[in-house]
Amino acid sequence: MATKLARHDFRHWAARTRALGGCAQPVHLRGRVEHLDPLTGEVLHRYTTSREPGGTLRVACKTRRASRCPACAETYRADTYHLVRAGLVGGKGVPDSVTAHPAAFVTLTAPSFGPVHTRREKPGGVQPCHPRRDAERCPHGRRLSCTLRHGAEDPRLGEPLCPDCYDHTGSVLFNALAPELWRRFTLALRRRLAKAAGLTVTALGDALTVSFAKVAEYQRRGVVHFHAVIRLDGPGGPAAEPPAWATHDLLAEAVRQAARAVTVTTPEAPGVPARSLAWGTQLDIRPITTTGELTDKAVAGYIAKYATKAAECVGTLDRRIRATDDPNDLPVSNHARRLIGECLRLGTLEEMAELRLAEWAHMLGFRGHFSTKSRHYSTTLGQLRTDRIHHNQRAREITTGRLPFTDEDQVLVIAHWRYVGQGLTPGEVLLTAALTGTPLPPLHPSADERTDL
C-alpha cells in the first residue's frame, strides 16, 4: 500500500480505480487503439496503455457473481432491474403504453427427484418437514419421514431424506436440459396462442409478439427453476398494441397448457436409459399490473435479485472443477458433492458428450444463461452499459469502457489488446475499498482459480 501511495502516478491510478467502481478483480490489458478516418486513413485519435499507471489499462470484470466481485455484481443487478422494469412500465426506449399489454409472472419449477428437507411456512407458522406417521423404510433402512420444523438457515434444507435413494442422475440431467425445455416451452406457447386465435403460427407473428425476460434460480436441492415475465405485444414489439383477443386470461391459459405439454428426452447411454423430463407440478402464473397484488416494480426487483445469485448459494463451488481436484476434498455440501460426482461420471459417457456435464459440474450440470430476454422485450444490458459509460465519461474518453460495446459507423477502429493479468494486490484491495467506498471483497481464491471472465 505504501509503495503504491508513494508512486508518482498514484493520483492517476486512484482516478482509474474510482472509474472502475470498486471492481475486485479488474482485467489488466496492454495495447493500443487507433481511430482512423475510413476514407482518408488519417489518424483521428490514438490511445496507448503505455501512459497508464504500470503501463496497463484495467477494465472492470463485469461479473454477475456477488461472490466474485460485489461491485460489478451490483451493477449487473441494477441493470437487470432497469431492463425488466422498462419492459413492464416503459422507459429506456420502450413506450409507456406497454403497461396496458397483458403480462404474467411465471415460475416453472423442476420435478421431484426424491424427498428433501424443506421449510414450509404457512400463516400458522412453520410446518413440519415431511411428517409420515407410517413411513416405510427405504431399501437403505432409512425412514422417509422428518417431523422437524427447520429453521431458515438449517444446513439440512435441500438435503435428501435418503441420499442413496435420491435421483442425482435425473437432477443433473434436468439442469443440463432445462434451457432446451424452456425453448420448447416458448415454441409451444406460440402454438397455443395461435390455436386460441384460430391462426397458424406464421400468421400469429403478423398479429402478435411474445416477449419475455427470464432468470434461472437454484433451489436448495440443487436444481434450477425459471422465473419469467411473459408479455404480449403487437407485431414487431412493445410499440404496437396487441390484438383485442390477447387478454390476461388467454395468456395464463396458454402458459398453463404449454408448460404441461412440453418434454425433453435425455440421451441414452450404457446403464443410463433415456428418460423423458418435464416441468414440475408446481406452476405459478400471476398477472402483472401496475396497481394489483403483483406490481411491475416488485417483479423487476425479484428478477434482478436472482440475476446475481449462482449455484454457490446451494453449497457448491464458484469455479470449475479441475482434473487435479479430489472430489472428496472440495469444500462443498455432501449433496452438492454427490451431484458434482454424478456430472463427472456422466461426463465420461460418449453419448452425453454434448451436455458437457464434466465442464459444468460446478454448476451441477446447468450451462445456460442466468438471465435472458427475447429481442423485443426491452432495452439490452449492452445498451444500458453504453448509456452509463457515455453518461459517466466525458473526461475519460472512450477508451476505458470500450471493449465489448463498440458502435463505430463513422470511424475505423484498429485495436491491439493483450491480456496481461487480473486482480488486485493486497495493498490495492485496501486502497480500492477506501477510494470507492465499497466493502472489502470476500477472501478470494488465488489468481489461477479464476475461470469465468
Residues that bind Zn ion (CB under 5 A): 23, 60-61, 69, 72, 117, 129, 138, 140, 146, 148, 162, 164-165
| Minimum distance from residue 109 beta carbon to Zn ion (Å) | 19
Helix ranges restricted to H, 154-313 = 168-197, 201-207, 248-261, 296-307
Nearer to Zn ion, 140 or 391 (CB): 140
Instruction: Give me the phi and psi of 283, to 5 degrees please.
Output: -130, 125
Nearer to Zn ion, 138 or 199 (CB): 138
Nearest to 131 by CA among 152, 117, 110: 117
| Minimum distance from residue 346 beta carbon to Zn ion (Å) | 21
| Minimum distance from residue 180 beta carbon to Zn ion (Å) | 30
Q: Can you say whether the dihedral through the CA atoms of 9, 52, 453, 324 is positive or negative?
A: negative
| Minimum distance from residue 388 beta carbon to Zn ion (Å) | 15
Nearer to Zn ion, 164 or 284 (CB): 164
Residue 352 near residue 345, CB atoms below 8 Å? no
Nearer to Zn ion, 65 or 345 (CB): 65
Nearest to 173 by CA among 272, 95, 74, 257: 272
Nearer to Zn ion, 26 or 53 (CB): 26
| Minimum distance from residue 61 beta carbon to Zn ion (Å) | 3
The cell for 242 is 396487441
| Minimum distance from residue 196 beta carbon to Zn ion (Å) | 43
Amino acid 58 reads R
The helices-and-strands tally (H runs, E runs) of the chain is 10, 13
> Which residues, in sequence order, are bridge partners of residue 107?
227, 284
Nearer to Zn ion, 25 or 211 (CB): 25
Nearest to 169 by CA among 319, 279, 313, 275: 275
C-beta neighbour count of 50 within 10 angstroms = 11
| Minimum distance from residue 373 beta carbon to Zn ion (Å) | 23
| Minimum distance from residue 437 beta carbon to Zn ion (Å) | 15
